[in-house]
Amino acid sequence: MFRLITGKPGRSGFGSASTAENVTQGIDATNLTAVITGGASGIGLETARVLALRNAHVVIAARNMEAANEAKQLILKDNKNARIDVLKLDLASVKSIKAFADNFIALNLPLNILINNAGIMFCPYQLSEDGIEIQFATNHLGHFYLTNLLLDKMKETAKSTGIEGRIVNLSSIAHNYTYKGGIRFEKINNKNRYDDKRAYGQSKLANILHANELSRRLKAEGVNITANAVHPGLIMTNLFKYSGLWMKIFKFFSCFLWKNVPQGAATTCYVALHPSLKGVSGKYFADCNEFKPSRLARKEVLAKKLWEFSTKLVNEAENS
């Protein structure tokens, strides 16, 4: 808490006050291509801007193409040499995710970095296009499916270039506040006792478990790709559109804990680009330093069960 409030750097040399530009200073990403979901606004846009500033080729994946193209022009305005592409992606739709992956592969680009950034938060109960509770579908299942579809391209890139691939899942400290047992496997779509905040925490727990199990599988396969999860911090973005008055009150009394957008994108950019994290996988980061997540987030059995459950849901959605 002291480091969070004061911004004092941790073991990495960075802390809560560090910005995305700070943590990537001096890094040349010229040979890297990154896909960033939700890169049209908030910390996703800042992540896209900074990676492009470090010369990476950035592909913004977004549901709102108008906003994505505006984001592209905003980045180009300050960086005319930026390499930016935009592709449509709706993470609540298996059909859209498959179309995105096909369209990306058709670009014949390498893929070094996948940043699973997009998300929704605290929204009222509803089901996705495929009949899955919307926060779980968007925040976890969509990214799970997208990652699986792009993994062969990442493996091919890592093997042909010798450059380590990196997958970054944006989680949250909210992963500590979830349903009993962590994931409601048997009641994932149950409207009874639906809690918008616990449902969000469930999806954020799933982001960490996904990264951990993916990391374990990649290590077992001997693939030169890492997978980690990050907590960006408390940042007031359009994620809070469903939060209402109570969140404004909470922010008023906890203003010293909040970050601005450049600070919020720092941990993502650090984990995606910093050379000191070469070979580091299956970890959880906050304020650009490794932290221990919740007990549930560290359960290998739970991570494996979630993987099997997610695979089942995707298969059912594909065949429906």
Q: Which residues are catalytic?
A: 194
How far is 168 from 117, CA to CA, in rounded Å? 8
CA atoms within 13 A on the CB side of 202: 25
> Quick check: 144 and 114 in contact, CB under 8 A?
no
The C-alpha atoms of residue 138 and residue 119 are separated, in whole angstroms, by: 6
For the chain, the straight-line distance linking the first and the last C-alpha, in angstroms and rounded, comes to 47
Beta-sheet pairing, 225-231 with 284-286: parallel
User: In the chain, which ranges are continuous DSSP H helix?
Assistant: 2-6, 20-23, 42-53, 65-78, 94-106, 134-135, 142-161, 196-221, 244-253, 261-264, 266-273, 300-319
Closest CA to 55 of 86, 23, 79, 73: 79
- Report the Cα 173 to chain-centroid distance in Å: 13
DSSP class of 149: H
Q: Token pair for residue 28?
A: 């040349």
CA of 78: how far to CAs of 32, 73, 75, 197, in Å?
20, 9, 6, 38
The pair of structure tokens assigned to 2 is 């002291």
β-sheet bridge partners, residue 85: 59
